[in-house]
Chain A
Amino acid sequence: MKEKTNKKEGTDAAEATVSGPDKAAETALASAKEGQASPEAAKEEMIHLIVFKLGAEEYGIKIDQVKEVTVTPSVTRMPRTPDFIKGVANIRGDIIAIMNLEERFGIRSVPLANDVNPHITYTLVIEAKEYSIGVIVREVPQSLNLSMTKIDKTPSFLQDINIHENYIEGIAKVNNRLIIVLDMYKILTQDEIRELKSN
């Protein structure tokens, strides 16, 4: 692979790998090369994200919060639970709640691109401290490795986003892409449970 030969020095700085059939791969790669140009990049901390789409925007979750990504299995609806809880599913013998973050945060969903199969969705199994929960997304999630310096910790221009800023870990800027990095642990805290109870 091309990037391998490029980083002879053994530095894994600012490498971006993208899985999945996406043309963003090239742009990510371009940014990787750009990162390697600066020598201090060698000491840079890396962050590995799973990137997915909610509405029109791209969102990311740190890979250590994601247990697995799977094609969504059959979901059993649970009456009298909040709308964003799609029900429960049997994932390898564990029965976990499946939720829709678009509905949870009131993000308007946008029509799917033509090449996306509308009948298949994907579930990210998020592993919180005491339990797991599934998050449904409509397109294949991607894996993205990037330097921490690409993450803006204090985004001030997100006034129009419905997600509470506490849930946002930062904004990653990779070339022309803007990825909102969510802290799933915070989303799945006590507030969430209280929200469920009041329904």
Chain B
Amino acid sequence: MKSREQEYKEIFIAEALEYFDALNRLISELEKKPQDDQVLAEIFRMLHNLKANAKAIGYLQISDVSHKLETAFGLIRNKELSFSDEVVGVLFDGIDLLGELIKSIDSEQQVEIDPVLIRNLDIIVDSLSDSTVELAKVQKFSTSRNLTLSDLIYIQVKKLDHLMNLVGELIIDRDRILSLSRELDNDELKMVSSHLYRITEDLQYSVMDARLVSIGTLFNKFPRVVRDISSAEKKEVNLELSGQDIQIDRNILQIMTDSLLHLVRNAITHGIEKPELRAKAGKPKAGSLQLSARSDRESVIITLTDDGKGIDVAKVKKAAVERHLVAADVADSLPDSEVYSFLFEPGFSLAKEVTEFSGRGVGLDVVKNAIDSIGGRIRIESEKGKGTSFILQLPTSIAVKGALLFEIDSIFYAIPLIHTDSVVALDKDELHEVGEVLVADIKGETVTVVYLDELLNMEESQMRLGDKTRLKGQVQNIIIVSYNNRKLGLIVDKLYRQQDIVVKPLSKPLDSIDLYGGVTLLGTGKVCLVLDVPAITKYFVNKR
């Protein structure tokens, strides 16, 4: 795990080495034109920063030497010290020493500072233009001058994004070559393409790896946030963090930042009770909030759990009925998990009072949208009086994801695995026409099932989603997807393998069509449409 101290240290070294290189360049320039004010100002600025940064992080030797050099250059700038050969020599030595000190931060070896050099620096700084004092010859501490570059570089996320896109394109072409080599049945080509396969796979994981950051970079911001919100709410809250060293794509973490903040605020303002209420309920005075992360195959699971008052299912049902999201009689029979999904409806809120930290018109729907946008999932577990958990399942990386391939009406489709629960094959007789839809008993659970061909291809006015006669064949392949705590079975014509795909976003003007999360190119060169499970679910609910 990269602690903040470690991060500061790395940044300090990288920047200090940059200054060191620039100083060497500038002082050589200055030797040629000693009167150049701009060069002097630059040198002055860098030494100044180096001094301040070193002091802040606690490298006192560096700040000390920088200070002396800064003073010397200040004098030169004010024409109180002439830039003579002797002085130049001392200044070069001083800058070299700075370089040694900076490089020694990360090594075991202590740099021995030559007292003569320090004395020389003091002489030129203190004695001003009085050059009667002899500058002693400095023993060169580094006779063999090594050129070293920093081991650490800083790179714009934009560049990594570009790299990731290129890898995506490469993988698509690789798969095409792989499938061509099988078709052509040429051994040499097969060998080369399987080598190509391994290399691109390595490349893909290396680039994905370069984009990973530890979740701690976000989690570590929360102790302060929790302290501030709970003190404003006059509540006591103990925050427990775990899994800070779990790695996740930087852009995904960026997108999740606001959502997580929102959930934490909600948990404190609406979840955890005031101390006196907690005491009455026999709970410890201080509420507990747990924010944890763990890896699960290709996903990262972030869980936020409070031991507050929990969600009042009856209240949610009542509000949902009032908003006509569901009929009263249906609401009564809904399982809790489906009731919680209403909380993600736009504008749905149970909060009566608007506090400084929560309930400013931003609802959980915003959190849901953010998670949908990166292809993640969120669900709620809650027990009245005991507390609530929000469980977020996020992809580790954006560009490449596991998906299930299938075919409907001769068109290839893919659904990201993060949205699929299971795949079953059922006999037509196991599907039942209930109302306007089909349902099936899948592992003891009643699941609504929809024939995708009907949903996607039938003219809307003639769509009959509850009509079994529309099905082809006796055995039906069904992909069970889950969105917003609701399961939905999708009947497909042909089911293919599971495969890693690179999702390309649809270009304009098609990008406004929600039903598709993008497209991918199969090894055969065929275009495969990536279905967006949230949008398909919403479309189905509207058409039902």
Chain A residues within 8 Å of B, Cβ to Cβ:
74, 76-81, 85, 88-90, 93-97, 128, 130-133, 188, 192-193, 196-197
Contact = CB atoms under 8 A, between A and B. Distances in A.
B169 interface: yes
Interface stretch (B98-106, B154-162, B503-511): B503-511
Given A95-B504, A95-B521, A78 B529 contact: yes
Given A79-B457, A80-B456, A95-B519, A90 B525 contact: yes
Interface in B490-544: 504, 506-510, 512-513, 515-516, 519, 521, 525-529, 539
A96 B456 contact: no
A163 B515 CA distance: 29
B411 interface: yes
A192 B181 CA distance: 42
Contacts of B169: 93
28 contacts: A74-B526, A74-B527, A76-B527, A76-B528, A78-B510, A78-B516, A78-B529, A79-B457, A80-B456, A80-B513, A80-B515, A80-B539, A81-B513, A88-B519, A88-B527, A89-B527, A93-B169, A95-B519, A95-B521, A95-B527, A97-B507, A131-B507, A132-B507, A133-B509, A192-B509, A193-B508, A196-B510, A197-B512
A76 B513 contact: no
Contact of B509 (A76, A89, A196): A196
Contacts of A77: 411
Interface string B399-425: 000000000000110000000000000
Contacts of B525: 90
Contacts of B510: 78, 81, 85, 88, 97, 196
Contacts of B506: 88, 95
Nearest to B412: A76
Nearest to B510: A97
Contacts of B412: 76
Contact of B521 (A81, A85, A90): A90
B457 A94 contact: no
A76 B516 contact: no
B512 A193 contact: yes
Q: How large is the interface on B (under 10, 10 to 19, 20 to 34, 35 or more residues)?
A: 20 to 34
B507 A76 contact: no
Given A90-B521, A95-B519, 13 more contacts: A74-B526, A76-B412, A76-B528, A79-B457, A88-B510, A90-B527, A93-B172, A93-B173, A93-B521, A131-B508, A188-B509, A193-B509, A196-B510
B175 to A, nearest CB: 13
Main secondary structure, interface of A, reads mixed
B519 A196 contact: no
A193 B507 CA distance: 11
A184 B340 CA distance: 48
Nearest to A128: B508
A44 to B, nearest CB: 36
Nearest to B539: A80
Contacts of B539: 80
A88 B169 CA distance: 17
A81 B529 CA distance: 13
A95 B412 CA distance: 15
Contact of B507 (A96, A196, A197): A96
Nearest to B516: A78
A94 B529 contact: no
A131 B525 CA distance: 21
Contacts of B513: 78, 80-81, 196-197
Contacts of A88: 506, 510, 519, 527, 529
Contacts of A78: 510, 513, 516, 529
Nearest to A89: B527
A188 B528 CA distance: 25
Contact of A76 (B173, B512, B526): B526
Nearest to B504: A95
A101 to B, nearest CB: 14
Contacts of B527: 74, 76, 88-90, 95
Contacts of B509: 97, 131, 133, 188, 192-193, 196
Contacts of B512: 193, 196-197
A188 B172 CA distance: 29
A193 B506 CA distance: 13
Contacts of B456: 79-80
A123 to B, nearest CB: 14
Interface string B444-456: 0000000000001
Nearest to A87: B527
B543 to A, nearest CB: 10
A191 to B, nearest CB: 10
A76 B528 CA distance: 8
Contacts of A128: 508
A196 B508 CA distance: 10
Contacts of B519: 88, 95
A78 B515 CA distance: 10
Contacts of A132: 507
Q: Which of B169, B457, B521, B529 has the most CB of A within 10 A?
A: B529
A88 to B, nearest CB: 6
Contacts of B507: 94-97, 131-132
Nearest to B519: A95
A89 B521 CA distance: 10
A76 B508 contact: no
B508 A130 contact: yes
Contacts of A193: 508-509, 512
A133 B516 CA distance: 18
B374 to A, nearest CB: 21
Nearest 5 A-B pairs (CB), nearest first?
A79-B456, A131-B508, A76-B527, A193-B509, A131-B507
Interface string B163-182: 00000010011000000000
Nearest to A195: B509
A80 B456 CA distance: 6
Nearest to A198: B512
Contacts of A93: 169, 172-173, 521
A133 B508 CA distance: 8
Contacts of A85: 510
Nearest to B453: A79
A76 B527 CA distance: 6
Q: Which of A80, A128, A130, A188 has the most CB of B within 10 A?
A: A80
A96 B521 CA distance: 12
A197 B535 CA distance: 13
A197 to B, nearest CB: 5
Contacts of A96: 507
